[in-house]
Amino acid sequence: MAPIDPHSFTDSSHPLTTHVSLSLYLDFNASTIHASALLTLSSPFSGNLSLDSRSISIKSILDPQTLTPLPHSVSSSPDPIKGSEVVVVLTGQSQILILYSTSPSASALQWLSPLQTFSKTHPYVYTQCQAIHARSIFPCQDTPAARIRYDVVMNVPSSLSAVMSARHVRRRLPVLEEAKHLDVLSSVVWCAEDRVVEEFVMEQPIPPYLFAFAVGELGFREVGPRTRVYAESAAGDVLDAAALEFAGTEEMIKQGEKLFGDYEWERFDLLVLPPSFPYGGMENPRMVFLTPTVIKGDASGGQVVAHELAHSWTGNLITNINNEHFWLNEGFTTYAERRIVEVVQGADIATLNMGIGWRGLNDEMERFKDNLEFTKLKNKQEGVNPDDVYSQVPYEKGFQFVLRIERQVGRTAFDEFLKKYIATFKFKSIDTDTFLNFLKANIPGIEKEINLQLWTEGVGIPEDAYEPVSAIYTKIISLAEEFKQGKMPSEDEVAEWKGQEWELYLENLPKSCEPSQVVALDKRYRLAESKDYEVKVSFLKLAISSKMLYLRTLFTALAQTGGTEEKQLAKQIFAEARETYHPIAQGVVESILSKYI
Ligand code: BES
Ligand code: ZN
């Protein structure tokens, strides 16, 4: 009996779940899902089977063959990170049927009232399961060590439609028969006139953190042979702008296939979410979720799409076995993203991105100077909430490690190695050692050339990391330096600048510039009004003389480095805006405020 994942109650001696059938009734008035989950294990089991859950209320657990109740218990006080352990007593069964309801505060779900949407007339709900939130939607072995196929029958208001990171099978009328397991609901409610059922099936096995859906009044535009972009249909302008912004997606998929092998997920759709979506992008398979701030009108949202697309190979095909090996997902993906960007946007932009990443990595070393564990690629996360230690380290130090290997063996050999790595471990979940062993077996002697242990287990940035040399980067840094002498870049010099260039410039200005200089800069370039949120935030950061990103950034700036007034302001802003934030964002801001105030 041993845990296999510091963030899950799943036990190493138990069979893992291979299939889940979900029946979901979405009650928008109560922000609740009434549901049944039929879990299938890889083999029959006798004993106490452990599952993860978070703020879920279980009505009953049954043997689906006999419909007799199975004895079970739910831990009385939830673990602050892992949630509540559900223990089911099995006597040779390989299937369990769980009848339950979710809570309005389910950490994976954001329920938006009509007023919080673009249309202002229809409600909306969407999921974000990474890192450990799938357990708030259905009880499961919520560890990426498990890979599940699933099917879903989702009962929603007929004015709305549902999308999932799965194949859409059909939209149809509800049937009396199928309500029988949902004992909290009468079949009258299930089959009410204003309800419809959407069916989905996911044939490719995925780790639970890639389970995803959204329900709202959705529309779409075609952008390629296997790509549509979805958003609220009332947001017609958003859809049109998104279709333009992402017109190059098919080209990216083709380049990805050339570099990393077949695209195994059939479709690559994009969903543009409401503004409260807490990430830039999320690599949900078959349908990537994106923040609306990626639509900037200058095709630069392409970088986020390249990143989430790259996960189709690194992360979704080969998955980290648990969050302690998260760099296997994000480091490889950052490398793969830059390879795609290099082909479709050019080497200059790819190198600029490397330069920005390098700077971000160096900043993180400062952030973690009293907590060096999180400067390691492979790190210990027992008792640690992965949302709290989210950083650039797995991305950029991971990228540097992958690049270090590429530089050692040369591109041609490395490309061949990467393809073989992906083909060997596709649809598997692996740890750092599995990667290192494969590396050593396929590139004999590599351990004599690169200190693999230092790279994966050591703190800080190894000496043999590569400091990128980007002409654009160097130029922008020197312009930023000149700001000290009161010089601003000319119209000509900034003519080609997109969001990233501005961001880099702003981030490199002296932290203690005169308010008058900041005002002058804004007057000339109207940065506080930029449509590009990255630029706007960089500018605002400069204005409050600090360094970070969006909510995390701004709240840490106010709460940590601010005086009493700023701290008070942070509390006030949060109190007012809390309800509009995603539950994950709420948690992150709460922990920032409790740390510094
Ligand atoms: N998988 C991540 C997002 C994530 C990580 C969600 C950890 C929850 C926990 C996604 O692929 C990602 O890295 N998104 C980036 C954008 C990207 C261009 C670097 C983001 O949202 O900032
Ligand atoms: Zn990523």
pLDDT of res. 98: 97
Interior/surface letters 250-282, b for 16+ CB within 10 angstroms, e for the rest: eebbebbeebbbebebebbbbbbbbebbbbbbb
Q: How confident is the model at residue 539 (pLDDT cuts 50, 70, 90)?
A: confident
Of the ranges 151-165, 201-215, 471-485, which one carries the lowest mean pLDDT score? 471-485
Q: Is 63 a residue whose pLDDT tops 70?
A: yes
Name the DSSP letter for residue 329: H
User: Does the annotation count 533 as an active-site position?
Assistant: no
Q: Looking at residue 548, what is its pLDDT?
A: 44
395 flagged as catalytic? yes
Report the distance separating Cα 334 and Cα 329, nearest Å.
9
Q: Is 582 a known ligand-binding residue?
A: no
C-alpha gyration radius of the chain? 24
The verdict on the CB of residue 304 being under 6 Å from ligand 1 is yes
pLDDT above 90: residue 318: yes
CB 304 within 8 A of CB 280: yes
pLDDT exceeds 70 at position 462:
yes
* pLDDT computed for residue 512 by the predictor: 64
**Is any atom of ligand 1 closer than 6 Å to the C-beta of 390?**
yes
- Is the pLDDT at 433 greater than 50, yes or no? yes
Sequence-distant (6+) residues with CB within 8 A of 535 are 499, 502, 503, 506, 527
Is 123 exposed, middle or buried (CB count within 10 Å of its CB: 0-12, 13-18, 19+)? buried
Question: Does residue 528 have a pLDDT over 60?
Answer: yes
Q: How many helices (H) and strands (E) does the chain have?
A: 19, 20
pLDDT for position 112: 97
Contacts of 421 (CB under 8 A, 6+ apart): 318, 435, 438, 442
C-alpha 279 to ligand 1 mean position (Å): 6
Residue 545 has pLDDT above 70, yes or no: no
292 alpha carbon, distance to own chain's centre: 15
The CA-atom distances, in angstroms, between 277 and each of 10, 120, 138, 148, 302 are 29, 17, 21, 25, 18
Copy the structure tokens of residue 279. 């990430």
Q: What count of other Cβ atoms lies within 10 Å of the Cβ of residue 50?
A: 18
| Mutational test site, ligand 1, from 129, 206, 211, 279, max ligand atoms within 8 Å of CB | 279
Residue 60 has pLDDT above 80, yes or no: yes
Of 2, 12, 89, 8, give the one whose Cα is nearest residue 45: 89
Nearest to 78 by CA among 39, 134, 135, 148: 135
Mean pLDDT score of the chain: 92
The residue nearest atom 20 of ligand 1, judged by CA position, is 280
Residue 352 phi, psi dihedral angles, 5° rounding: -60, -45
Give 544's pLDDT tier (boundaries 50, 70, 90).
low
Structure tokens at 35: 């549901």
pLDDT over 90 (residue 333): yes
Q: In whole angstroms, give the CA distance from residue 430 to residue 434.
A: 6
Say if ligand 1 is within 6 A of residue 311 CB. Answer: yes
Does the C-beta of 130 come closer than 6 Å to ligand 1? yes
pLDDT in tens, 444-459: 999 999 999 999 999 9
Average pLDDT, integer, range 200-204: 98
> Quick one: pLDDT band at residue 549, thresholds 50, 70, 90?
very low
Q: How far is the CA of 302 from the centre of ligand 2 (A)?
A: 14
Pick the atom of ligand 1 nearest to 280's CA. Answer: 21
Q: Pairing between strand 269-272 and 287-290?
A: parallel
Rounded mean pLDDT of 548-564? 68
Mean pLDDT in residue range 117-131 = 95
Which tokens sit at 14?
């138990």
Closest atom of ligand 1 to 303 CA is 18
Q: Active-site residue among 85, 308, 337, 507?
A: 308
Please tell me the predicted confidence (pLDDT) of residue 543. Answer: 65
Element (H, E) at 270: strand 269-272
Determine the Cα–Cα distance for residues 582 and 275; give it in Å rounded to an integer.
10
Q: Which residue has the tokens 């009880």?
A: 139
**Segment 375-384, tens digit of pLDDT:** 999 999 999 9
Q: What is the mean pLDDT of residues 57-84?
A: 97
Residue 493: which residues within 8 A CB-CB, separation 6 or more? 479
Pocket-testing residue among 277, 282, 345, 582, ligand 1, by greatest number of atoms within 8 A of Cβ: 282
**Looking up tokens 């009161």, which residue turns up?**
486
The H or E element that residue 516 is part of is helix 515-525
> 162: part of which helix (H) or strand (E)?
strand 161-164
Short-list 269, 273, 228, CA closest to 117 = 273
Nearest listed ligand to the Cα of residue 303:
1
DSSP 142: -
Cα–Cα distance between 527 and 83 in angstroms, integer? 43
Q: Ligand 1, closest atom to CA 390?
A: 7
**pLDDT on residue 582:** 77
Nearest CA to ligand 1 atom 8: 130
386 CA closest ligand 1 atom index: 9
Omega into 146 within 30° of 0, i.e. cis?
Answer: no
Q: Which two tokens stand for residue 550?
A: 């969006």
10 Å CB burial of residue 226 (0-12, 13-18, 19+) is middle
Whether residue 311 is annotated as binding a ligand: the answer is yes
Residue 71 has pLDDT above 80, yes or no: yes
Catalytic residue among 124, 126, 335, 395, which? 395
Kindly report the number of other CB atoms within 10 A of residue 555's CB atom.
Answer: 24
**How many angstroms is it from 199 CA to the middle of ligand 2?**
28
Reported as a pLDDT band with limits 50, 70 and 90, residue 500 is confident
307 marked as binding residue: yes
Helical packing angle, 398-409 and 326-345, nearest 10°: 60
Cβ of residue 282 lying under 6 Å from some atom of ligand 1: yes
Q: Which ligand is nearest to the CA of 534?
A: 1
- pLDDT tens across 388-400, in order? 999 999 999 999 9
Q: Where are the alpha helices (DSSP H) in 398-532?
A: 398-409, 411-425, 432-442, 446-449, 452-457, 471-482, 491-494, 499-507, 515-525
pLDDT above 60: residue 202: yes
* Helices (H), ranges, 158-266: 187-190, 236-245, 249-260
Q: What is the pLDDT of residue 536?
A: 78
Choose between 141 and 551: higher pLDDT.
141
pTM of the predicted model as reported, rounded to 2 decimal places: 0.90
Residues 6+ apart with CB under 8 A from 366: none
Which amino acid is residue 524, in one-letter code?
R
Q: Tell me the CA–centroid distance for residue 132 and ligand 1, in Å.
A: 14
- Report the chain's terminal Cα–Cα distance, integer Å: 41
Tally the residues of the chain.
597
Closest-lying ligand 1 atom to the alpha carbon of residue 283 = 11
Query: What is the distance in A from the centroid of ligand 2 to the CA of 169?
Result: 28
